[in-house]
Amino acid sequence: MAVSSVVATIFAALCWADAIGLGGAAAAWWLLPVAVCLAWGAATEAARMSADRGLAIRQPLVAAATAALPLVAVAAVEIPPAGPAARIGQVALALVVILGLFFGIELAAYRRGTGGLKRIAAGFLTVAAIGLPLAFMVSLRVLGGAGPTGLLPLVSMVAVVKGGDIAAYLVGSQLGRNRMAPLVSPGKTWEGAAASVTASLTVSWLLLDASGWAPFHPWGGWPAYGLTVGVAGMLGDLSESLVKRELAVKDSGRSLGGLGGFLDLVDAPLFAAPVAWLLWTLGSQP
């Protein structure tokens, strides 16, 4: 509980600083350290879990490459051409450069039978699966523009996903009877999933319609947003469960106390962020 309170307080403070452009900072710069920290921490945990199962990823390199992608997403704002698709294109280009770097390092140090190709595959998957979605999260903040309302795309994605996650836990733990994926995550039930979707839709309605806060909207309005972002979040949660099941670990780490590790914190948003970005990009923008 203490760790959760500290994390929430820090995030709220940085959101406030970012919303008012404290110190003349442009949109996303105050929140960028959060994205970089999450990227580095989650990639480090993924590399460590892989190493524990005999797959020795080049941990510092993978962590640095993963953390670089959110940085590129912000820096790309100043690189022409402008526009959300062009900015993500710059991130995709950086990802290709990283792949080339991984191959170059393994070519330089190649020895037969040392697992170079496995390191490339596992390292690149880690960078792409963690760094790219975090770049989408940063892009959600940039997409909203300056001012408090500019936080709406990012905050709405986090709120929809976490609202569904909380509802799934509360209802699933009390009323859950029918397991959804018993071999991957025995604790998840269809009752919890239904509660998660309902909560995601409710949070989406509150933020995008009832509150009157939204001067612009994602494609499809609050129903499409709540449903697709909420379901994507559940898929992200289940996907991390699959990874942990394959690697025989319960939590990705204990860096955040009761919250588990960095990867446990961002698993659902990793899948939800690209979906949210697409809907906001297709919808009306400020």
Q: How many CB atoms lie under 10 A from the CB of residue 176?
A: 20
- Where exactly are the structural domains of the chain? 2-282
Tens-digit pLDDT profile for residues 79-116? 666 678 778 888 999 999 999 999 999 899 888 877 78
pLDDT band at 3 (very low <50, low <70, confident <90, very high): low
Give me the pLDDT at residue 240, please: 86
Tens-digit pLDDT profile for residues 225-273? 999 999 999 999 999 888 888 887 776 766 776 667 888 888 899 999 9
37-40: long-range contacts (C-beta < 8 A, 24 or more apart)? 37/262, 38/134, 38/262, 38/265, 38/266, 39/63, 39/66, 39/67, 39/69, 39/70, 39/130, 39/131, 39/134, 40/64, 40/66, 40/67
CB-based contacts of 83, cutoff 8 Å, min separation 6: none
Of the candidate ranges 31-40, 41-50, 145-154, 201-210, the one whose mean pLDDT is the lowest: 145-154
Residue 278 predicted with pLDDT over 80: yes
Give me the pLDDT at residue 64, please: 95
Give me the pLDDT at residue 9, please: 85
Q: Average pLDDT in the 65-88 region?
A: 82
N-terminal to C-terminal alpha carbon distance within the chain: 37
Q: Which two tokens stand for residue 107?
A: 């070519």
Residue 285 predicted with pLDDT over 80: no
- Using alpha carbons only, what angle is made at residue 142 by residues 266 and 220, rounded to the nearest 5 degrees? 80
Q: What distance in Å separates the CA atoms of residue 200 and residue 204, rounded to the nearest whole number? A: 6
- Using alpha carbons only, what angle is made at residue 159 by residues 155 and 164, rounded to the nearest 5 degrees? 160
CA torsion 127-132-133-138 (nearest 10°) is 130
Give me the pLDDT at residue 223, please: 96
Residue 208 predicted with pLDDT over 80: yes
Give me the pLDDT at residue 76, please: 78
Arithmetic mean of pLDDT over the chain = 87
Q: Bridge-partner residues for 189, per DSSP?
A: 179
Comparison of pLDDT for 56 and 64, the residue scoring more: 64
Q: Is the dihedral of CA 203, 205, 211, 212 positive or negative?
A: positive
- Using alpha carbons only, what angle is made at residue 44 by residues 64 and 87, rounded to the nearest 5 degrees? 45
Give me the pLDDT at residue 78, please: 67
Comparing C-alpha atoms, which of 50, 52, 191, 75 is closest to residue 127?
50
